[in-house]
């Protein structure tokens, strides 16, 4: 009994199974529309931006923190790079690097104020969300179009019938899955999320690690924003609105906990994939957009509730095992 439950405790497994079931059922219902390469490539393209942001968010949640300013950073990054290229004629790679650099400064401000000064991440990143959105409006105003063709190609070129953002997503998820699972540096975030005081006393430089995680988050959000602008061929100041909550939902569905200490990078991808597929199914089933929000909300509550119940059960089993052993 306890063994059975243990498998279902692993969110990566339960979510993979759920996604598999969803794919099989939808393929049976809409064999032509759902089960096609075009649809798959479209679903993946639509979730690629969220998934890249979700990687950074997963690392933050593992360390027991989160960032609400990501949606604004996405809008700013695309807008600022576009501004530099369009109005100042800056060479594309330089514009991209400059924009990423500014995004990392935003991340540093978040991280420094949260880690050093002790401002609650909710308040800090909520404030930054507004500030950066304002800056995004300043740089891209009502939108910047006619970007260099080379820039647009970064987001629109296709390899093996998938657009570039899908490949970027796969690359970033792959790299960070490896880093977080295998490097001592990234494993420290589990300790920090598990018990921050104990982490300090174990010789982990918690403040520095936290600042780095916010810088990394803003870097990935900036990258996502630039990719999005390239894909759309335009920078708009309204992009990324509501993204923070969507991404946090996906990451929690993917196995993170707001208390910290839990989660895997692959879970961030699976969470966004799950939400992407549900969204796709609802479009195919002609469910109104309002229902999407409602259904995502319900799914989140149900997933977390199941988690709590399974956890209680597992703890009870573990205690029984110990007592019989002793």
Partner 1 sequence: MGAGRSEVAQAIFGVTQKEKGGLKLGSREVQIKRATDAIKEGIGYLPENRKEQGLFLEMSVAENILSVKANNDHKTIFVDYRKNNSITNEFIDKLEIKTPSGETKVINLSGGNQQKIVLAKWLTVNPQILIVDEPTAGIDVGTKSEIYRLLNELTEAGTSIILISSDLQELLSICDRILVFCNGRITATLPREQFSEEEIMHYSAGIKDMYK
Tokens 């960070």 locate to: 176
Give the nearer residue to partner 1 in terms of CB position, either 246 or 264: 264
Give the nearer residue to partner 1 in terms of CB position, either 200 or 232: 200
Give the nearer residue to partner 1 in terms of CB position, either 36 or 259: 259
Report the SS3 class of residue 235.
Answer: strand
Shortest Cβ 8–partner 1 spacing (Å): 17
Give the C-alpha separation, 254 to 248, whole Å.
9
Give the nearer residue to partner 1 in terms of CB position, either 59 or 243: 59
Residue 69's Cα: distance from chain center in Å?
12
Shortest Cβ 302–partner 1 spacing (Å): 23
Give the C-alpha separation, 82 to 95, whole Å.
8
Tokens of 317: 């089993």
Q: How far, in Å, are 33, 117, 123, 130, 162 from residue 46 at the CA level?
A: 16, 38, 30, 25, 11
Shortest Cβ 135–partner 1 spacing (Å): 35
Three-state DSSP string of 59-76: HHHHCCCCCCCHHHHHHH
Residues that bind partner 1 (CB under 8 A): 181-185, 187-188, 190-191, 194-195, 197-205, 261-262, 315, 318-319, 321-322, 325-326
Whether 110 contacts 259, CB under 8 Å: no
Give the nearer residue to partner 1 in terms of CB position, either 201 or 302: 201
């Amino acid at each position: 009994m306890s063994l059975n439950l243990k498998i279902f405790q692993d969110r990566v497994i339960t979510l993979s199974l759920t996604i598999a079931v969803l794919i099989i059922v939808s393929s049976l219902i809409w064999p032509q529309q759902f089960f096609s390469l075009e649809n798959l490539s479209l679903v993946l393209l639509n979730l690629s931006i969220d998934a890249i942001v979700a990687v950074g968010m997963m690392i933050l949640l593992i360390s027991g923190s989160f960032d609400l300013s990501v949606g604004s950073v996405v809008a700013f990054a695309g807008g600022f790079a576009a501004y530099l290229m369009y109005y100042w004629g800056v060479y594309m790679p330089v514009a991209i690097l400059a924009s990423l650099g500014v995004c990392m400064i935003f991340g540093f401000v978040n991280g420094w104020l949260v880690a050093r000064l002790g401002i609650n991440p909710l308040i800090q990143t909520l404030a930054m969300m507004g500030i950066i959105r304002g800056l995004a409006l300043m740089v891209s105003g009502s939108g910047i179009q006619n970007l260099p063709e080379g820039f647009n190609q970064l987001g629109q070129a296709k390899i093996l019938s998938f657009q570039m953002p899908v490949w970027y997503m796969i690359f970033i998820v792959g790299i960070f899955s490896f880093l977080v699972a295998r490097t001592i540096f990234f494993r420290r975030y589990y300790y920090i999320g598990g018990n921050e005081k104990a982490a300090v006393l174990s010789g982990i430089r918690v403040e520095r690690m936290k600042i780095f995680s916010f810088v990394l988050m803003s870097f990935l959000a900036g990258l996502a924003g630039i990719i999005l602008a390239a894909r759309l061929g335009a920078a708009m100041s309204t992009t990324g609105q509501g993204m923070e909550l969507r991404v946090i939902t996906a990451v929690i569905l993917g196995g993170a906990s707001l208390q910290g200490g839990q989660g895997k990078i692959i879970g961030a991808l699976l969470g966004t994939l799950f939400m992407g597929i549900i969204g796709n199914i609802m479009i195919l089933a002609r469910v109104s957009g309002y229902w999407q929000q409602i259904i995502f909300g319900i799914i989140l509550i149900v997933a977390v509730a199941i988690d709590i119940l399974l956890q209680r059960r597992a703890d009870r089993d573990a205690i029984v095992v110990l007592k019989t052993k002793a």
